[in-house]
Amino acid sequence: MRAVLVVNPRATSTTTAGRDVLAHALASEVKLECVGTRYQGHAREAARQAALDGVDLVIAHGGDGTVNEVVNGMLSGEGVGTAPLLGVVPGGSANVFARSLGLPRDPVEATHRLLRALASNSYRTVGLGKADGRWFTFNAGIGWDADVVAEIERLRTEGHTVTPGLYARTALACYFRTCRRAPLITAFPEGSPPVDGLHTMFVSNTDPWTYLGSHPVRSNPETGFDTGLGLLALRTMNTYTVLRHVVQLLRSRAKPHGKSVFRSADMGYLHVACQQPLRLQVDGDNLGKRSAVDFESVPDALHVVV
């Protein structure tokens, strides 16, 4: 089996020693090429080339951003049904995609799990989401959360260490900016009437939507890799309402509800229009501002070694 290991050396939990141990272990079982990313988009380029070269397996070692780039690279050529197998060894801080698959957070344990799965030919087929053609593995959002992602990205470039505390402070600061805005979003779920007057929206491809440290944040518990997309949108951003829904999101298996919430599950397609450009994020990656976004659920898009 031919494999390419794509490593982000700047990810939170990746180290040179860990990478070398991982590469050595994998090289004993597969014909391995190792690529260390040097710039944004490098992981995507490496994965795309691996797919074009007919490689059997591409392994992403890094955070959710690295996984997202690898997935987009693997599926940028022939696409669904012809891509290599995907392996994931977590190396970031949240690792939402890997944790949603039940993979160990520790890179060494995840490597052993990957090797056992390869030996037994164990893999899982998962559905993915697309936002204007960009693949995402676990979530996307317009408005508040996308503003947070953009600000965290800015702080990271300034040398700040990303921690749950930094995320919380940034989310609070972005909330106070967002809450002053008029509702600018209209959702057009497939087969349903349009829903306007929305402030911010969270789109999920699996459950949980993300993690706050070790705690899962659940926006659509009925959503998974075998279903369509889930949507949670807020009609108001007043402090009491937002706090109430934050508590709901942090409850185990909770389903956020109330007059100020619009929720939908198992969606195959969703069109979103914004009265003025708002930020869009996918898998924690800032894609800039958009006036309209088309979301799509693609079943059985990828085979993941588990």
Query: Last residue of some domain: 94, 121, 148?
Result: 121
Q: What is the CATH number of the domain that holds 195?
A: 2.60.200.40
Q: Quick one: 160 and 285 in the same domain?
A: yes
Closest CA to 13 of 87, 103, 136, 108: 108
What pLDDT is recorded for position 79? Answer: 56
What pLDDT is recorded for position 22? Answer: 85
Q: What is the CATH number of the domain that holds 59?
A: 3.40.50.10330
pLDDT above 90 covers what percent of the chain?
Answer: 69
Would you say residue 73 lies in a domain? Answer: yes
Q: Quick one: 62 and 162 in the same domain?
A: no
Q: What is the pLDDT of residues 92-111, one digit of tens each?
A: 888 999 999 999 998 889 99
Q: Say which residues have a Cβ less than 8 Å from residue 146's Cβ, sequence separation at least 6.
A: 278, 279, 280, 281, 286
Q: Quick one: 228 and 251 in the same domain?
A: yes
Would you say residue 272 lies in a domain? Answer: yes
What pLDDT is recorded for position 290? Answer: 97
What pLDDT is recorded for position 261? Answer: 92
Q: Quick one: 47 and 150 in the same domain?
A: no
Q: What is the pLDDT of residues 13-42, one digit of tens each?
A: 777 777 888 888 889 889 999 999 999 999
What pLDDT is recorded for position 81? Answer: 64
Q: Is residue 252 over pLDDT 70?
A: no
Q: Is residue 258 over pLDDT 60?
A: yes
State the average pLDDT for the chain.
92
Give residue 247's pLDDT band: very low, low, confident or very high (50, 70, 90): confident
Q: Quick one: 113 and 183 in the same domain?
A: no
Structural domain boundaries enclosing 281: 136-300
What pLDDT is recorded for position 170? Answer: 94
Most confident listed range (93-97, 105-109, 169-173, 203-207): 203-207
Q: Quick one: 174 and 98 in the same domain?
A: no
Tally of domains in the chain? 2
Give residue 3's pLDDT band: very low, low, confident or very high (50, 70, 90): very high
